[in-house]
Chain A
């Protein structure tokens, strides 16, 4: 038998069970792929300009995206100012791409991220350099999703390291506070934490002080993410052999020097996969701010589908939003796999 023939026999028809599975899989594909292709490509409407054209075409309504993508991507941000969040996102993606090159891992990268956060915020906020001010209440769509995700991660990460160190501390009070915080937050659903942030923060603050909805949600996301990240970091701390602490002690390094120079660099390397996993979760979880009334990508997509004429084509709209989420998450998980290999190369 020739090679492809042998491969097919081994991998698809090796045993009766195997054959049954193959037949099932083929049947499933036969049932779903042709109708899907027909729907998505052949009978789709690609830009008739109105819901009516979609109804006539009978297939997928890509016209929806052509007509409503700006609302889905930018939410309520003033229409003529869309270039600003677009530019901010472009900068973000460019820096993300730069960060994935080992050559760029220099101190300036951290500075660049700091600068990006400032520049992007100024771009979005406006009020400087002749830009029209735009309140955060008007921010929406993908930029809002990215802002919340990135800020939540950036703020939660150092906080989580402190929590993880606290949890491993010899001082009982510090340990108890850290454990209490971590376990409390991890026992709660994010939704109820976000609700708490949105209904209770206003009560927590002194009279007359208000904080914006977006900031409240951001605080909620950050507190939540930090607890989970702390557990990931703790996993790494636990994996560091005792000898490393002893050697650092014997050399006379202080606690913080030991942590900063010896333990954390090793521990964080070990837990890249769970940390990135947590980043991915955080990114997906930003969609929950929809529930407390923010216009992130998901909520903006939902709003774009609110028009009764477009509503029948919700699958197309959500599919597009799903694709955006998928791209970011998939990129991050692939990146973490690559990073793990790359980092391992250096030391072993």
Chain B
């Protein structure tokens, strides 16, 4: 037996060789990509590095939570995009959870008609791409009547092609906030909070789509609680509602939380579809930046980094919560 053949017989040695091959492959491919990229960037005369972040952006952003003008830097423009992403994700998560839970519970309610209706909703929404639904929502919002004929479903709430206007809180007086009701002034509204048509469509789309998935998760969670638990609770004299609230839901939560986490992450990861209807989220802003500076690598890396942070943060939070739920119920 030759030395090499003998070595090859060793399991450890084989393991080392396989691992070395994988590392080598990764480095080779990575290096090849980096080299090509550098050559290409040079050929096209594109600058590298994050220096562009400090330069003037020069484009406007239609909605922003913080003061922003085209004279601000790229960094600030991206921050505006990030805040918009966070806002839409947070609201989407809250509304989708509320609606999804309600629908999931109703699918299990003894009411045949309501259970069927909710089932139709879930199946219809889950099997159609979100982007298509967003196009429809956006189409619907933009074909609403103008401000003067705005729909007024609830007092203080106006729905028109200018978006959704809702009552806001006015903190400017100092101390207690005052309710700030929107009023029609000329062709637009003053006062209250205005959600742009893009924002409203995106929020509606994300909420309705995600709620269908959450409903299924809630349903599966509740079904996972053994029947004996319900019977025992009823035998103790708890009402149906009390049984659900005190016995079933706490146990179901353990099953619900992990998939719910991934739905929450999905809301965040779906929010860049905003770009298709013109809501300036992080990806949309960074795309504009790419078009203007050509610095695709840096911008894409930045966006990816941000999303990875959001993902990691959210899953860390959920893991922590999950542990608590699991401990308490033991």
Query: Chain A residues in contact with chain B, CB under 8 A?
Result: 10-12, 14-15, 17-18, 21-22, 24-26, 28-29, 170-174, 177, 184, 186-192, 195-196, 199-200, 202-207, 280, 284-285, 287-288, 290-291, 298, 302, 312, 314-315, 318, 321-322, 325-326, 329-330, 333
Contacts and interface: CB of A to CB of B under 8 A. Distances in A.
Contacts of B39: 206-207
Contacts of B123: 330
B117 interface: yes
Contact of B113 (A12, A200, A326, A330): A12
B272 A314 contact: no
A184 B113 contact: no
B19 A18 contact: no
Interface stretch (B51-59, B93-101, B146-154, B300-308): B300-308
B43 interface: yes
Contacts of A11: 110-112
A15 to B, nearest CB: 8
A291 B110 CA distance: 43
Interface string B26-70: 100000010011011101000000000000000000000000000
A318 B132 contact: yes
Interface string B102-123: 0000100111111001000001
A315 B136 contact: yes
Nearest to A314: B139
A239 B114 CA distance: 37
B326 interface: no
A142 B268 CA distance: 28
Given A172-B19, A187-B312, A188-B308, A325 B132 contact: yes
- What secondary structure prevails in chain B residues at the interface with A? helix
Interface in B123-177: 123-124, 126-133, 135-136, 139-140, 143
A192 B303 contact: yes
30 contacts: A10-B110, A11-B111, A11-B112, A14-B110, A22-B113, A174-B18, A177-B22, A187-B312, A189-B269, A189-B270, A189-B307, A191-B283, A192-B303, A196-B300, A196-B304, A199-B290, A200-B300, A203-B41, A203-B297, A204-B33, A207-B40, A284-B127, A287-B131, A287-B132, A291-B275, A298-B131, A298-B132, A315-B136, A322-B133, A325-B127
A21 B36 contact: no
Contact of B15 (A28, A171, A203): A171
Contact of B19 (A171, A290, A318): A171
B311 interface: yes
Contact of A287 (B112, B124, B129, B139): B129
B307 A188 contact: yes
A321 B297 CA distance: 35
Contacts of B246: none
B287 interface: yes
Contact of A192 (B19, B143, B304): B304
- What secondary structure prevails in chain A residues at the interface with B? helix
Contacts of A174: 18-19, 22
Contacts of A207: 36, 39-40, 43
Given A199-B296, A202-B40, A326-B127, 20 more contacts: A22-B111, A22-B114, A173-B22, A188-B308, A189-B272, A204-B36, A206-B36, A206-B39, A284-B130, A285-B129, A287-B129, A288-B129, A302-B135, A314-B136, A314-B139, A318-B139, A321-B132, A322-B133, A325-B128, A326-B128
B296 A284 contact: no
Interface in B252-307: 268-273, 275-276, 283, 287, 290, 296-297, 300, 303-304, 307
Interface string B311-323: 1100000000000
